[in-house]
Every structure is written in C-alpha cells, then in structure tokens.
Structure 1
Amino acid sequence: MIREDKFLISRRPYAVDLGSLRAWGEHWASIDAVWFRRRKGITVACIGTLRDLQNPLPKDAAEFLARHDDGRYGGDCDGRWDGERYWGAQKPEVIEQHLELLRPMLANYPAIPAGYQGWWRF
C-alpha cells in the first residue's frame, strides 16, 4: 500500500489501526481500517478490515501494509453509516460501537478518527 498525506476520495484511501494486526490461519493477516466512499452520490463512513494472504506472516503493521499490494477487492466492510441509515452488524452492542465511531467520522469528513493512521491506498 502507498502512504499519502493528502486525502482524495477518488483514490479510495483507508485509515488503519496500526495496533490491530492479526494473523489467522497459516498465511492470512488482517488489520482494522476505516474509510469513506461515495454511494449513489452520498458520502458514507465505513468500518472493517483489510486482509491479505502473506507468506511469511508479517512481523508488524508496517510490513503488512508494505506487502499488501492487491486492492482489487478493497476492504471488508463490517458497518456503514450514511448519516441516516446504518448497514452492518446485527448485534445491538456491535451496532453501538460502530456508530460511536462512524457518526463523528462522517460529521468530521475527511478527518481521520482517533486511533487510526492514514491515508493508505493501493
């Protein structure tokens, strides 16, 4: 992935939580991410993960991001907020956690939420 200082929604950037790197299985790794997208002309805030098949597994988030170079599938969205409607989780406590982050994220567009580093793009 490529690190950029300037936010351009047209480049489909992600902000990531550098402390959230997880390995699962023998070669899969993922990191928590948030991003903005436009859906039918409306800006939405999304929360989810970036995952990648990496062999060997990365030692840290920096290595994961440096080696993650296939963005054709984008992030795995777990929740999305458009300012009026929420899409995503079904458990009320997870919905509350998502909206606690997504509401201010969308209201402060294009600021990066606390705890995340950005912007990263493919």
Structure 2
Amino acid sequence: MIREDRFLISRKPYAVNLGSLRGSRTETPQGRNEYYFDGRIDAVWFRRRKGITVACIGELWDLQHPEPADARQFLEQHDDGRYGGDTHGRWDGTSYWGTGTLADQEQHLEILRPMLAGYPAIPDGYDGWWTFQPAR
C-alpha cells in the first residue's frame, strides 16, 4: 500500500489504526521452519454506494513473509488489494448495516457517525490515507 496525504475517494483510500496490528505465524504446508504471518489491522474508509457517500469500518488483512516489524511495514508490504477491506459496519447517515453484537454495532456507530459528518476528515486515532493504487 502507498500512503498519500491527499484524500481522493476515487483512489479507494483507507485510514488505519497503526496500534491495532495483530496476527500470528502459521507454518506452511511444506514445513521446514517456513511460515507466513497472518496479519490484520483495523481500518475505516469512505465509499460511494448508489450515489451516496457511506462510512465503513472493518479491517485489512494479508499473509506475509517475512513477518513485518510494525504496522507501517505491514501496510507497505501489503500489495494485493483485490478484496479490499473486510467490512464490519457501514453508516450512510440514515441507516446502519453491520455484523457482531449490539455492543459492537454501538462501538462502530461511535466512530462512523462523526466520521461521515466530518467527511473527508480522518477520524481521531487513525492514520491515512493508504491506497492500493499506484502513485500518480
């Protein structure tokens, strides 16, 4: 991924919580002390759905080798954006769609409501904007 200072919704950017990187090593089927790092990092992003701007919350994930030293290296090594982010919640200003418990959904809305109201500002606690698209 590439970090950009400017927000352009057309580049499908993400803002991430750099302190949320988590993951584990998993041995490859070949064994012989070979592994991959199954990493996940919390993210938020804006998208357009049927002409309406929505705020989304979820995570980005990737399988990497070698294991990254930190969240920035994880993002810089993450080069396959085919699947985008795994969405856990989405707010369009009127209705919410999401997964998880009611407590999870309330937590999501605590972030998504002010995020959408402050479009295109990055929410507190997040770093952005990160995109899979090549630099222009």
Q: TM-score, normalised by structure 2?
A: 0.87
RMSD: 0.9
Whose Rg is larger? 2
Runs of 4+ off more than 2 Å: none
* Rounded Cα–Cα distance in structure 2 between residues aligned with 1:90 and 1:73: 20
* Rounded Cα–Cα distance in structure 2 between residues aligned with 1:73 and 1:60: 22
Query: Is 1:112 matched up with 2:125?
Result: no
Q: 1:90 to 1:21 in 2, by over 3 A?
A: closer
* Rounded Cα–Cα distance in structure 1 between residues aligned with 2:4 and 2:100: 34
Uncovered stretches (5+) of structure 1, i.e. residues with no partner: none
Q: 2:10 aligns to what? A: 10
How far has the Cα of 1:59 moved from its partner?
A: 1.7
* Rounded Cα–Cα distance in structure 2 between residues aligned with 1:69 and 1:58: 13
User: What is the aligned length?
Assistant: 122
Uncovered stretches (5+) of structure 2, i.e. residues with no partner: 27-36
Q: TM-score, normalised by structure 1?
A: 0.97
Query: Is 1:63 matched up with 2:73?
Result: yes
* Rounded Cα–Cα distance in structure 1 between residues aligned with 2:120 and 2:99: 24
1:74-93 mapped onto 2 (5 Å cutoff): 74-93=84-103
What SS does structure 2 have at the residue aligned with 1:31?
A: strand
1:16-95 mapped onto 2 (5 Å cutoff): 16-26=16-26, 27-95=37-105
